[in-house]
Structure 1
Amino acid sequence: MDLAFLHPLYEQPGPWASVYVDTSRHAEDTAHRLELTARALGRELARHGADEATCRAVEEAVKELGHVPGPHGRVLFARNGSVVLDPLLARPPQDGSRAQWAPLPRVAPLLDLAGEDPIAIVAYVDRRGADFELRSSLGGEDAGTVVGLEWPVHRTVSTDWAERQFQLKVENTWEHNAVEIADALSVCQEETDADLLILVGDERERREVRGRLPKRLHDRVAQAAHGTGGRLPDEDVERIRAQHVHQRVESGLDRFRAARTPDDEGRSGAAEGVSALVEAAREHRLEELLIRPDGADAHREVWIGEDADQLAVRRTELRTLGEGNSWPARADDALLRSAVCQGARALSLVPAAPAGDDVPRGGLGAVLRWK
């Protein structure tokens, strides 16, 4: 998961209100239910010490969701009387709506609720062109059409010389249209930042288009035969998206396993466990953070200062480093703050459900930038 969108959360000091709102149940009384939820969440924040202005800002923002609710939910990060960030969720919060008031924003759940949600471009390909559709857990929408050359596009079975010339024109038309479709699909991927390209159509047409895509996109391509009524069923899209997420997690684990193996000098390119990760974060060595939310280390307490690289396992360590102010925080959220500020990525291990020695001990690990 690219964490760059979280930067606004670390440009201002805490404490922060982190409010996860479930909007997945739609009914005539949705607006009324969200109004009750807003009041309950405001009271919860107040009980934990949130200031009145922030409680009021959160309540108003949750009430507004009754007019334009997302299909699954939304998370609100607020401080000092205003909501700073409010990303949509790709799936409902498991424990329903909840609020937290803490020195750091509670961002770790986003890895599962919003992070592993690949955007897919479904390209319905034929010899004359293609229709593009954007699909994600939030629904689908039209993403454009490519119209290629319309004549000639069909072969004949004659062996006459003139007919063979006609067939050559057919081949040229197919090639031209495949190039047009591939170019347009590449542009659409750049504009939407899609993670996955699903080619739908006859086998030859899919192969022709895939072969003309830039090499950087080849590992993002999945293929499917014609859908029902000209449209790929939702269950097929979800199956392909789930396979893509699983493969992405497995690739991340493969990178971690390879980096974990010591080199000839006994140095490892991976870290696991809170102490090793805290040290790596302080040294700006995080490249990719791996988190299993139910791991024993995810909720361990660490100590943080005002800056992202000011963190320690014990409070006395921060004082030794010259940091006068310090607060307790969850290890996963503290490490994610460091990852955001260092430009590192993060990956939830939940979709692959890994276990045993193949995963980071305690549920927290990282691939490092240098050993």
Structure 2
Amino acid sequence: MDLAFLHPLYEHSGPWASVYVDTSRHTESTPHERRLTAAAMARQLAEQGADEATCRAVETAIDELRRSGEPHGRALFARAGEVVLDPPLARPPQGDHAEWAPLPRVTPLLELAGQDPVCLVAYVDRRGADLELRSGLGRREAGTVTGRQYPIHRTSSADWSERHFQLKVENTWEHNAGEIAGHVSACQEETGADLIVLVGDDRERRAVHERLPQRLRDRVVEASHGAGSRLLDEDVESARAEHTRRRAEAERERFLAARAPDGEGRAGAVEDVPALVEAAREHRIDELLIRADGPDTHREVWIGEDADQLAVRRTELKTLGEQNSWAARADDALIRSAVTTDAPVLVLPPESEETPVGGLGALLRWK
């Protein structure tokens, strides 16, 4: 998962308020309930030592959600009296909660907002295609592809002139499939969609699939719906869930294979906190893997003001020349390092096998 959107959270030092609010319930009393939630979250932060200005900013932001129609929830990250980031959630959190800590509490956000792949759906027929984007936050139109409109339909005659006409029809179909594939490829590159679902008759789907660039082949799913049909939400959810499961399993297997040392005695993956801290300090994390229920995620490490100021023991930071230090959760500290070095993060599902051990691991870069 690309975490570039989290950069604002690491441009300033903490402490930070991290708040998760469930907005999935909508009744006549919702405005009143949101006001109560706003007050409760501000009170929780104050009890943990948050400054008054930040508590007030969080309370105001939650209170402003009282008329929101958001279907799932909202995360808020605030410091120094300002809400810096407030992304919507793709799934409701398990209850409203607030934390005040040296670093933003981001792992729950990756579980609730970021893991669900964005899906580009192409409804394909012989004349063109309609595109839409689907995610846990809903759907939106993504454009229309209009190919050649004539000739489209075959005839039943077998004489020479008609066979010539049939060839023109075939050429039209092939041309339109290429046009659709080009637009799908461009739309995926522009939107960063994780998954492409092709909907339509078998021949049209296959023709577009075959013309997509190689880099997209493992992102494509063909839906067994006829031309003119529209995917139901449960169809999209099923495709997205399967894509997430397959990717997590592939990355887990890649991680397992990379743990063995190479010819120079260097492992391509590590999974214990001291080794991860060392890799983060040296900017060698290529991809961070987190299993949120793992015991190492909440293990205490020590951080300085910069992302590479990270140690298992406080005395190590002083040795590195850092005078100011704070205790932080290992997952929060490693996510900060990943974000600032542009390394992706993958949150493994709870039902995945217990790898990496402890719940934290990383694939490494050596160049």
Aligned alpha-carbon RMSD (Å)? 1.5
Are 2:91 and 1:91 equivalent residues in the alignment?
yes
Asked whether the equivalents of residues 304 and 328 of structure 1 are also in contact (C-alpha less than 8 Å), the reply is yes
Counterpart in 1 of 2:353?
355
Which of 357, 362, 367 does residue 366 from structure 1 map onto? 362
Are 2:259 and 1:260 equivalent residues in the alignment?
yes
Name the CA distance, whole Å, in 1 between partners of 2:135 and 2:7.
24
CA drift of 1:69 comes to 4.0
Are 2:95 and 1:57 equivalent residues in the alignment?
no
Counterpart in 1 of 2:185?
186
Read off the aligned partner of 2:286 and give its amino acid letter. Answer: E
Q: Secondary structure at the match of 2:14?
A: coil
TM-score normalised by structure 2 residue count: 0.97
Asked whether the equivalents of residues 287 and 367 of structure 1 are also in contact (C-alpha less than 8 Å), the reply is yes
Q: Secondary structure at the match of 1:50?
A: coil
| Per-residue CA distance 1:233-264 (angstroms, 9 max, x = gap) | 11111111101111111121122122112113
Aligned residues: 367
| Per-residue CA distance 1:304-342 (angstroms, 9 max, x = gap) | 111111111111111111111111100000111111111
Are 2:108 and 1:112 equivalent residues in the alignment?
no
Read off the aligned partner of 2:79 and give its amino acid letter. Answer: R
CA drift of 1:228 comes to 10
| Per-residue CA distance 1:78-125 (angstroms, 9 max, x = gap) | 00000001111111112x110000111101112211121111111111
Instruction: For 1:209-288, list aligned pairs within 5 A.
Output: 209-226=208-225, 230-288=229-287
Name the CA distance, whole Å, in 1 between partners of 2:308 and 2:141.
44
Name the CA distance, whole Å, in 2 between partners of 1:277 and 1:355.
20
Counterpart in 2 of 1:4?
4
Judged with a 3 Å threshold, the aligned counterparts in structure 2 of structure 1 residues 176 and 228 are, in CA distance, closer, same or farther, namely closer
Read off the aligned partner of 2:361 and give its amino acid letter. Answer: G
| Per-residue CA distance 1:144-203 (angstroms, 9 max, x = gap) | 222222221122232211111000000111011111211221222222221111001111
Q: Secondary structure at the match of 1:197?
A: strand
Name the CA distance, whole Å, in 2 between partners of 1:181 and 1:100.
48
Asked whether the equivalents of residues 301 and 310 of structure 2 are also in contact (C-alpha less than 8 Å), the reply is yes
Read off the aligned partner of 1:25 and give its amino acid letter. Answer: R
Read off the aligned partner of 2:233 and give its amino acid letter. Answer: D
Counterpart in 1 of 2:154?
155
| Per-residue CA distance 1:253-308 (angstroms, 9 max, x = gap) | 12212211211333211111111101111111011000011101010011111111
Gaps in structure 2 of 5+ consecutive residues: none
Name the CA distance, whole Å, in 2 between partners of 1:248 and 1:65.
34
Structure 1 window deviating more from structure 2 (120-129 vs 185-194): it is 185-194
Judged with a 3 Å threshold, the aligned counterparts in structure 2 of structure 1 residues 2 and 280 are, in CA distance, closer, same or farther, namely same
Percent identity of paired positions between Structure 1 and Structure 2: 70
Counterpart in 2 of 1:310?
309
Asked whether the equivalents of residues 123 and 227 of structure 2 are also in contact (C-alpha less than 8 Å), the reply is no
Counterpart in 1 of 2:338?
339
Judged with a 3 Å threshold, the aligned counterparts in structure 2 of structure 1 residues 209 and 275 are, in CA distance, closer, same or farther, namely same
Counterpart in 1 of 2:202?
203
Q: Secondary structure at the match of 2:67?
A: coil
Asked whether the equivalents of residues 309 and 322 of structure 2 are also in contact (C-alpha less than 8 Å), the reply is yes
Asked whether the equivalents of residues 201 and 227 of structure 2 are also in contact (C-alpha less than 8 Å), the reply is no
Counterpart in 2 of 1:75?
75
Q: Secondary structure at the match of 1:109?
A: helix
Name the CA distance, whole Å, in 2 between partners of 1:34 and 1:229.
42
Name the CA distance, whole Å, in 1 between partners of 2:226 and 2:32.
40
Name the CA distance, whole Å, in 2 between partners of 1:327 and 1:52.
21
TM-score normalised by structure 1 residue count: 0.96
Counterpart in 2 of 1:31?
31
Instruction: For 1:102-181, list aligned pairs within 5 A.
Output: 102-181=101-180
Q: Secondary structure at the match of 2:66?
A: coil
Name the CA distance, whole Å, in 2 between partners of 1:97 and 1:210.
43
Counterpart in 2 of 1:19?
19
Asked whether the equivalents of residues 286 and 364 of structure 2 are also in contact (C-alpha less than 8 Å), the reply is yes
Name the CA distance, whole Å, in 2 between partners of 1:174 and 1:159.
20
Name the CA distance, whole Å, in 2 between partners of 1:137 and 1:161.
53
Asked whether the equivalents of residues 199 and 227 of structure 2 are also in contact (C-alpha less than 8 Å), the reply is no
Structure 1 window deviating more from structure 2 (232-241 vs 182-191): it is 182-191
Gaps in structure 1 of 5+ consecutive residues: none
Name the CA distance, whole Å, in 1 between partners of 2:220 and 2:34.
40
Asked whether the equivalents of residues 227 and 233 of structure 1 are also in contact (C-alpha less than 8 Å), the reply is no
Asked whether the equivalents of residues 129 and 147 of structure 1 are also in contact (C-alpha less than 8 Å), the reply is yes
Asked whether the equivalents of residues 186 and 214 of structure 1 are also in contact (C-alpha less than 8 Å), the reply is yes
